[in-house]
Amino acid sequence: MEHKNNSEDTGVLYICPTPIGNLEDITLRVLRVLKKVDLVACEDTRRTGQLLNYYQIQKRMISYHEHNEVTRTDELISFLESGLDIALVSDAGTPGIADPGFVVVRAALKYGIRVTALPGPCAAISALVMSGLPTDRFLFYGFLPRKATKRVAEIERLRGNDGTLVFYEAPHRIIPCLADLLRVLGPRPAALIRELTKMHEQMWTGTLEELLDRATDCPPKGEIVLLVQGAKEEETMSNHDVVKLVRELMELGLDKKTAITVTAKQTNLPKKDVYDQVVELPPY
C-alpha cells in the first residue's frame, strides 16, 4: 500500500501510558486525549475497555499487539493519513517499553505523521527510583531470554556495565534468573519489586544471594521488576578472567571470533588485547 509523505493533513499518533495497577495513576492529559481521539489502538480491547468504562469514555478500539503489529501498522498509518487521531495504549504502562509500539511509531515518523508521547506510568522507572540503587546511570533490559544458556550469555555481556540493570521477569522464572545472575555477577546489591502500585506491592532488598534464598523459601507472585547494581570501577577482569569468559561463551555455542567480540564489549578492552590473551584457544 502506498503512503503519503510529509502530509500536513494527517492525524496525530498519541503514545498514552496507562496505569500499571492502580487506576488512579492515569493522568488528566491522557484522559483528555482518550476522549478526543478517533480511535484507540490497544493490546487487548477487553482490558482497555475496562479502563475506558471506568472513566466513562466511549471510543472505537482496534487491537494492536505483538502478534499483529506488523500487519496492523499499515492499517493504522492509513487511518492517520486520512486525518484520524489515534491513541496508542498497552495493557499497562508506556507503549513501546517491553510492549508493542515501536513498529507503528517508526512507520508514522517515516511518513511524516506527527507523533507525541504523553508522560505517565512506567514500571521500570518507578521501580528504579524506589529501589535505593544508583539512578544516575541505568540500563533497561526488559525480559532476559527464557533459555538458560542464552540467559547466561546475555548476563555475561552485561557484566561490565556500570549502570543499574533493570529487568522484567515472570514469577515462574525468577528463581533460575536470580541463580544465573548470582553465578555471573556475584552477590551484588539488588532489589526485587513485585505488584508495583497494586494492593500487594512488596519490595525485597539485599544481595542477589539473599534475594535468591528468600525467593526459594517464598516464591514471589505477580509482575516483577528486578534491579541489580552495576559493575564497580574496580571490577576489572584479569587475564585469567578474560580467557575464562571467552571459553564459557564458546562452550555456550559461540564461535571464537564472536566470543572475542562479545568479551571485548563486555570488558571494555580492545578486541586485539582479548585476542592476544586467547590466541591459544581452538577456534571452536
Predicted confidence at residue 283, as pLDDT, reads 63
* Each residue's pLDDT tens digit, 40-95: 999 999 999 999 999 999 999 999 998 999 899 999 999 999 999 999 999 999 99
Give the Cα separation of 168 and 156 in Å (integer): 18
What is the pairing mode between strands 224-228 and 189-194? antiparallel
The yes-or-no verdict on residue 253 having pLDDT over 90 is no
Predicted confidence at residue 135, as pLDDT, reads 97
The yes-or-no verdict on residue 36 having pLDDT over 70 is yes
CATH of the domain at 98: 3.40.1010.10
Question: Which residue type occupies 53?
Answer: N
The yes-or-no verdict on residue 104 having pLDDT over 80 is yes
The yes-or-no verdict on residue 208 having pLDDT over 90 is yes
Cα distances from 173 to residues 82, 84, 146, 219, 223, in angstroms, run 45, 42, 8, 10, 11
Residue 82 inside a domain? The answer is: yes
Predicted confidence at residue 211, as pLDDT, reads 98
| Pair 248, 223 in one domain | no
- Band (pLDDT 50/70/90 cuts) for residue 257 is confident
Q: At what angle do helices 148-158 and 256-267 cross, to 10 degrees?
A: 40
Give the Cα separation of 74 and 39 in Å (integer): 15
| Pair 180, 214 in one domain | yes
The yes-or-no verdict on residue 6 having pLDDT over 80 is no
Nearest residue to 176 (alpha-carbon basis) of 206, 200, 155, 191: 155
For CA atoms 240, 246, 247, 248, the dihedral sign is: positive
Q: What is the pTM of this model?
A: 0.79
CA 97 to chain centre: 5
| Pair 31, 48 in one domain | yes
Predicted confidence at residue 245, as pLDDT, reads 85
CA 248 to chain centre: 26
Residue 99 inside a domain? The answer is: yes
Q: How many domains in the chain?
A: 3
Residue 2 inside a domain? The answer is: no
Predicted confidence at residue 244, as pLDDT, reads 85
The yes-or-no verdict on residue 2 having pLDDT over 80 is no
Q: What percent of the chain has pLDDT over 70?
A: 92
Predicted confidence at residue 204, as pLDDT, reads 98
- Band (pLDDT 50/70/90 cuts) for residue 271 is confident
Domain boundary among 102, 121, 140: 121
Predicted confidence at residue 239, as pLDDT, reads 60
Residue 7 inside a domain? The answer is: no
Q: Which residue do the cell numbers 500487519 mark? A: 71
Query: At a CB cut-off of 8 Å and minimum separation 6, what does 84 contact?
Result: 11, 37, 38, 39
Give the Cα separation of 179 and 155 in Å (integer): 11
Domain boundary among 79, 94, 121: 121
- Band (pLDDT 50/70/90 cuts) for residue 238 is low
Residue 1 inside a domain? The answer is: no
Give the Cα separation of 41 and 110 in Å (integer): 19
Nearest residue to 243 (alpha-carbon basis) of 260, 226, 257, 268: 260
The yes-or-no verdict on residue 278 having pLDDT over 80 is no
* Each residue's pLDDT tens digit, 139-195: 999 999 999 999 999 998 898 899 999 999 999 999 999 999 999 999 999 999 999
Cα distances from 45 to residues 50, 54, 99, 159, 240, in angstroms, run 9, 14, 15, 40, 54
- For residue 24, what are the domain limits? 12-121
